[in-house]
């Protein structure tokens, strides 16, 4: 067996141990040689190696991200699943969107008399979005997350404050 084995990122490393374990390769494809993954020896692993089955220690065996992992009993490990966001994670975004849409509808349906009130509603929705983005963790903020927290808060607060300042400064029609 070659002294250099593949690392988890598909690169060769001479500093890596001479044998690979299932923990070294979290997403081994179904075409990988289970005997090579577990480090088993004997007629089965020799036959698999002679048949050209790509083993983990082989330089051509790169874990495939889109493949279905092999059964854990066969010596491979399933890739860790990504934690799902809670069902209510998009609720803050939905509330902000509903408030902004309500303010714009108020302006559209109410005519010039309701421009100030409708735009104050939109500005308040944007400021509320900035506060929600500031206090909620990324997992719970849902669709309010688009960049880093500081940039999101600055963008939302600037838009909300700008619209509010324009409504308060400009004369009513």
Question: Residue 52: its pLDDT value, please?
Answer: 53
Q: Percentage of the chain with pLDDT > 90? A: 35
67 and 118: one domain? no
Residues 4, 41: one domain? yes
pLDDT value at 12 more than 70? no
Q: Which residue has the higher pLDDT, 76 or 25?
A: 76
Q: CA-to-CA distance for 83 and 132, rounded, in angstroms?
A: 22
94 and 164, same domain (yes or no): yes
Number of domains in the chain: 2
Q: Are 106 and 153 contained in the same domain?
A: yes
| 75 and 96 assigned to the same domain | no
Between 37 and 92, name the one with better pLDDT.
92
Closest-CA residue to 77 (of 95, 89, 63): 63
Start-to-end CA distance of the chain, whole Å, equals 83
Cβ-count burial 68-81 (b if 16+ within 10 Å, e if not): ebbeeeebbbeeee
Crossing angle for the helix pair 149-169 and 115-135, to the nearest 10 degrees = 160
Same domain, 131 and 145: yes
Same domain, 92 and 56: no
Beta strands in the chain (DSSP E): 5-6, 12-13
One domain, residues 17 and 74: yes
Among 156, 100, 82, which Cα is nearest to 145's? 156
Last residue of a domain, one of 25, 49, 81: 81
User: Residue 173: is its pLDDT beyond 80?
Assistant: no
Predicted TM-score of the model (pTM): 0.52
Return the pLDDT at 58. 47
Structure confidence at residue 37 (pLDDT): 47
What is the predicted pLDDT for the residue at 4? 47
Q: What is the C-alpha separation between 90 and 107, in angstroms, rounded?
A: 26
Residue range(s) defining the domain that contains residue 39: 1-81
Which tops the pLDDT comparison, 82 or 148?
Answer: 148
């Amino acid at each position: 067996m070659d002294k250099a084995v593949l690392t988890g990122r598909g690169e060769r490393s001479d500093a890596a141990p001479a044998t690979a374990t299932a923990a070294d390769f979290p997403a081994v494809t179904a075409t990988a040689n289970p005997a090579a993954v577990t480090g088993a020896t004997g007629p089965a692993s020799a036959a698999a190696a002679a048949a050209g089955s790509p083993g983990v220690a082989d330089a051509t065996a790169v874990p495939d991200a889109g493949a279905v992992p092999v059964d854990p009993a066969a010596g491979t490990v399933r890739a860790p699943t990504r934690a799902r966001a809670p069902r209510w994670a998009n609720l803050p975004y939905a509330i902000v969107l509903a408030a902004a849409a309500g303010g714009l509808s108020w302006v559209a349906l109410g005519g010039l008399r309701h421009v100030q009130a409708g735009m104050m509603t939109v500005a308040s929705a944007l400021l509320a979005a900035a506060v929600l983005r500031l206090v909620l963790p990324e997992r719970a903020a849902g669709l309010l997350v688009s960049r880093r927290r500081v940039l999101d808060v600055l963008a939302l607060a600037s838009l909300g404050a700008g619209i509010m300042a324009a409504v308060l400064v400009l004369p009513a029609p």
